[in-house]
Structure 1
Amino acid sequence: MRILLVGEYSRLHNSLKEGLEALQHEVTIIGTGDNFKKYPVDYCIFPKYFLQNRILILLNKILFRIFKLDLQLAEKGIRFWLFLPKLKNYDVVQLINSNAIETYPFFSKYLLKKLFNQNKKSFLLVCGEDTPIIDFMLKDQLKYSILTPYLNDSNLKSEYWFSLKYVQKNYRDLFNFISLNVSQLIVSDLDYKIPLPEKILIPNPVNTNKISFDNLVISEKIIIFIGINKSSYIKKGTHFFEKALAIIAQKYSDKIEIISVENIPYNEYINLYNKAHILLDQLYSYDQGYNALEAMAKGKVVFTGAETEFIDYYNLTEKVCINAIPDVDYLVRELSLLIENPEEIIAMGKRARLFIKKEHDYINIAQKYMDVWNRN
């Protein structure tokens, strides 16, 4: 089969591509590479003129301030439009998000209508913030979600513009248009299955052939890694981790080393956390996101989403990661237990790797996608 994957935010589509290629399918990815993360894509729609040219960046800022026009959005759409003649005769098109092209919603609808018409089946993958997910979270029915800080303090609205745009009429119309034109919606983990219980869950694919596992060795200090993304700082609860680390740094100054990085490309990020034993990923989630899964595949102990729903879904009897919640005292206790019992760090790292190989193997997951695509 010929498969076109539209958008890339986490390396999910790259790992899926590798699994599909192992099954002898032809796969193409088109996307921006997600800005500073620089994920690989085959056709790049990164808006280099309005993000890399100083004069055009200034012009864009002026136009946005006066007319609310964002020309980098327009550039992404134009670049996608220029690729349209090459995006034909695919058996499957899969969007990673309703806003996968990352342009103005009206322009996305125009481009997607052409894309859908010149290919066979189309699918939408819900693996992040999208209209039905934000709708559900705004109801505040869960004990917490990424919207919890905003729901507790409406003054944070400006920090949530990216999330809340999905419930604006233009983005809602885009989502509804796509929903009517795709064969199926697929969700990637329990954070999206809970709001959309009727949809098919296919776990994130992880290529463990590319991610080496080395048994953790703790010879001197225990290394704790935190990667900070300023655009999702509040949504990921990073400030809770930072407060916990400040306490841990004083309590165990002679036993730990802390590595903290901010907004760096994916390849640099991976290399920097390679020597870590513990990785602090995110709060407010029920299942693991992509960064957490890759770290678990390396045998790291990851603080991330691992709620009861996750434990029950996978029938786990032992911890494969640490459930991170927005409670500094809890985070300090969990970190202290690991620092004082380093053998558990090593044991959990091994369990994490086995879990990823069992539930997230990229070839098995690629076959699950094929099964859904073929029967819809």
Structure 2
Amino acid sequence: MKKGLIEDGHQVVLMSDGNNWHNSPRDIDLKRDMRWGKLSGLKVLWQLLRHYKCLVGNDIVQIHNYQFVPLKMGWNRHLISFLKRHNRYMVKGCFGDDPVVLDSQAEGVPEYSDTYWDGRPQNVELNKERTAEMNMVPVRHCSGFANRESDALVACLYEYYLCYRSWLSHGKLHYIPLPIEIPEGARAKHIADGRKLKVLVGIQPKRDYLKGAAYIGRLVEQVAKENDGLIEVNTVEGVPYDEYCRMLSETDVLVDQLYSYTPSMNSLAAMARGTVVIGGGEEEFYKFIGEDELRPIINVRPGRDEDNLNTLRRTLTDRKLLEKMSQQSIDFVKKYHDYRKVARQYEHLYERLLAGEFDIY
């Protein structure tokens, strides 16, 4: 998104800790240096003090969640207050786990998630630590404070929008999709009848209970056995992001997430390269965005073993259908997720905030 805003003539400074192993690009590095031990937080504070001028006098400050700086909740609350006082408007992202999301999921919003399906809570034991963290008093106070103090909340996925919509009763909430930079020369896959279909299963070992890729991978393996020699399944774990992107370009089909309602960043990165995704593509989502034609995703759901298997049998053995979905994947990303288009949606929101139009939708 930063690139798109800069291309439109705006001045943007990105502060971040790099999001762990992703090591995302940033202008100001807030990563804790664990060589400092218990004093590693002091380095973060020093970085904030060094770049004080970047923290004040802005038209818009956007934070990605309630704990946007890798410090304790109390520090984040103080920083939210500071940013609110010394800048014109503050926007908060609804980009992942937080108490609102987990509370909504526990009530069946959306219809299914990694913590809920078939009308009841699921993965309870696996999610115990995660749920306990979300229920900690400092987390709840900081999360609620960030939501109240922000002038606008932006959900990057439809499921997050649903969660927050069930909690909000005013016009603070907006949906703006994830931005993707489409690789130059991206084109649909040509999947000739004479070659093997290449399927990639990417697993995060410590997080697969949140993703469900291993489960889908087992179903794909079953379909591969039923069609001996026609489907090649490659399962990888913990691959660096650059290497992963290279593998996506050489893959026909990516196994992504079982519990997702809509395509997330991983899915979209694959789709931008013409790789067909097995993951979240609910009709409810297509209706929400007003899409009547493109259906690029092989949609699977938790608790629907036989339905999922039949869906995979039908799609993975139909080369013409997969080629069509490959082209639609690129078309879908270009239509909804091109980083320049997404930047303009944020720009539109910022302009309306600056114009005093608080209840936009």
Q: Distance in 2 between matches of 1:102 and 1:240?
A: 33
Aligned to 2:339: 362
SS across alignment from 2:232: strand
Matched position secondary structure for 2:210: coil
Q: Aligned to 1:186, what secondary structure does the other structure show?
A: strand
- 1:85 has 2:52 as partner: yes
Shift of the alpha carbon at 1:77? 4.5
Alignment correspondent of 2:276? 301
Q: Tell me the equivalent position of 2:226.
A: 251
Match of 2:77 in 1: 109
Inter-partner Cα distance in structure 2 for 1:324 and 1:298: 21
Give the TM-score, by structure 2 length: 0.86
Q: Which residue pairs with 1:214 in the alignment?
A: 187
**For residues 290 and 73 of structure 1, do their structure 2 counterparts lie closer, same or farther at Cα, with a shift above 3 Å needed?**
farther
In structure 2, runs of 5+ residues without a counterpart are 166-170, 354-361
Structure 1 unaligned spans of 5+: 1-15, 57-70
One of 15, 24, 29 as aligned partner of 1:44: 29
Q: TM-score, normalised by structure 1?
A: 0.82
Give the distance between the partners of 1:73 and 1:348, measured in 2 at CA. Answer: 48
Q: Is the 8 A contact 1:38 1:266 kept in 2?
A: no
1:261 aligns with 2:239: no
SS at match of 1:234: helix
Q: CA deviation at 1:174?
A: 0.7
Deviation at 1:301, TM superposition (A): 0.9
- How far residue 142 of structure 1 moved from its aligned partner, in angstroms, is 4.1
Distance in 2 between the 1:276 and 1:125 partners?
A: 32
CA contact (8 A) 1:278 1:302 kept: yes
Q: For 1:177 and 1:76, how far apart are their aligned partners in 2?
A: 25
Is the helix fraction higher in 1 or 2? 1
> What is the distance in 2 between the residues matched to 1:163 and 1:365?
32
1:163-242 to 2 correspondence within 5 Å? 164-197=132-165, 199-208=173-182, 210=183, 212-219=185-192, 220-242=195-217
Query: Shift of the alpha carbon at 1:212?
Result: 4.1
Aligned to 2:11: 26
Q: Could you tell me how far apart the structure 2 residues matched to 1:203 and 1:297 are?
A: 14
Residues 196 and 74 (structure 1), Cα distance of their counterparts in 2 relative to 1, 3 Å cut = same
Q: Secondary structure at the match of 1:338?
A: helix
% identity of equivalent residues: 24
8 Å contact kept, 1:223–1:256: yes
- TM superposition outliers: structure 1 runs of 4+ over 6 Å: none
* Conservation of the 8 A alpha-carbon contact between 2:114 and 2:210: yes
CA contact (8 A) 1:305 1:322 kept: yes
Paired residue total: 340
Q: Which residue of 2 aligns with 1:347?
A: 324
- Alignment of 1:129 with 2:97, yes or no, is yes
Q: Which residue of structure 2 aligns with residue 17 of structure 1?
A: 2
Give 2:300's aligned residue: 324
8 Å contact 1:94–1:124 — kept in the other structure?
A: yes
CA distance in 2, matches of 1:231, 1:76: 29
